[in-house]
Structure 1
Amino acid sequence: MIIDGVEMKGLAVGHAAALADVLTRNRAAMAPYEPSRTEAFYTEAGQRARIEAMLEERDGGRLVPYVFVEAGSGAVVGAMNLGSIAHGPLCSGGVGYWIDRAWHGRGLATAGLAEVVRAAREDHGLHRVEAQTLVDNRASMRVLAKNGFTEIGLAPRYLHIDGAWRDHRLFQRVLHDEPPAS
């Protein structure tokens, strides 16, 4: 998928430096939406270790991590994950994403999520995909709505974000009603 000169690619260890850079630049803007992070998180070594752990999850079939990369410069401008993948009677996964503040409003998250939803059904055989947002994250709720997600509830004190337990709205998109693969 390419949109506005940005391509969504599978995450690789080679993205560590670019991820550390974009996360450092967006640190203040993302703080209200993120868990507390150590200083090491914002370093190339910290991102390399994080990526290696994510790739182990990918190899175990539990996570599909992506990055949004600007054509030409190779700069990372966002990330999206399909994680918590479960098969059997649940057949579900969860999505999470963020976009560099300088790239907001260009449709990257919306287009990326459409591709992840397609892959969840066609490549991974999932029945549903879920997402959660802070109760006041209207931009993320718009991305979810544009991709056919519906709100299914409220989870009080769901995640520890920006130093406190925060309420989240829960969303899902049912992809099909076929029985799970045996």
Structure 2
Amino acid sequence: MPQIALPDQLRLRLLEASDAKQVTGSYTRNRTHLEQWEPARPEEFFTEQWQAANLAASASARQSGLAYPFGLFAQDELIGRFNITSVVHGAFQSANLGYWIDKEHCGQGLASQAVAALLSMARNDLGLHRMEASTLAHNYGSQRVLEKNGFTQIGMAPNYLKINGRWQDHNLYQAILHD
């Protein structure tokens, strides 16, 4: 799967184990920004060794067609993560989408552009019929990204995920990629 070029010198590409240093730096730089939106992370999560092991595991999942970890790059700087996970083929043809953008790049439409490109890739290259995503009930920015890309809310799940140390409600969304 080739990298995906976006406007303004941006590109999405699959992450490799060799990206561990950049991934570590990006998570470390955004640690405070992301803690409100993500599970509580152990200290070792913010090490290059942990990220390298995680990226190696992701490569194995990618080879099996179960997950696709992407990085959003501006020039050569990693400014976001986009993950297509839980890919199911057969009658379901569905996957989950998760993402975040560097705190310095929020509100610029970059997540919307990247999600649009990934939905196209999921439809055309992976043959998926449906993409699912969830947001914290109060994450209006992420909800706008999804809605701009044709996602519709299909429900609300109470106490859905343990985010920042607490079980929190999430809005559930889906986009149908093929009719």
Q: TM-score range by the shorter chain?
A: over 0.9
The one-letter code sitting in structure 2 at the alignment partner of 1:33 is W
| 1:128 and 2:138 matched | no
Q: Which residue of 1 aligns with 2:40?
A: 36
Question: How many pairs are equivalent?
Answer: 175
Counterpart CA distance in 2 for 1:3 and 1:42 is 30
Instruction: Report the aligned-residue RMSD.
Output: 1.0
Percent identity of paired positions between Structure 1 and Structure 2: 42
Any idea what the Cα deviations from partners look like across 1:141-181, whole Å, max 9, x if unmatched?
0100110000000011111110011110000011113xxxx
Counterpart CA distance in 2 for 1:127 and 1:26 is 33
Task: Tell me if structure 1 keeps the 8 A contact 2:26–2:78.
Answer: yes
1:10 aligned residue (14, 21, 28) = 14
The one-letter code sitting in structure 2 at the alignment partner of 1:166 is Q
More moved, 5-14 vs 53-62: 5-14
Q: Which residue of 1 aligns with 2:117?
A: 115
More moved, 99-108 vs 130-139: 99-108
Counterpart CA distance in 2 for 1:107 and 1:16 is 26
Task: Tell me if structure 2 keeps the 8 A contact 1:4–1:106.
Answer: no
TM-score, normalization by structure 2: 0.95
The one-letter code sitting in structure 2 at the alignment partner of 1:169 is N
Counterpart CA distance in 2 for 1:155 and 1:140 is 16
Structure 1, unaligned runs of 5 or more: 178-182
Q: Which residue of 1 aligns with 2:175?
A: 173
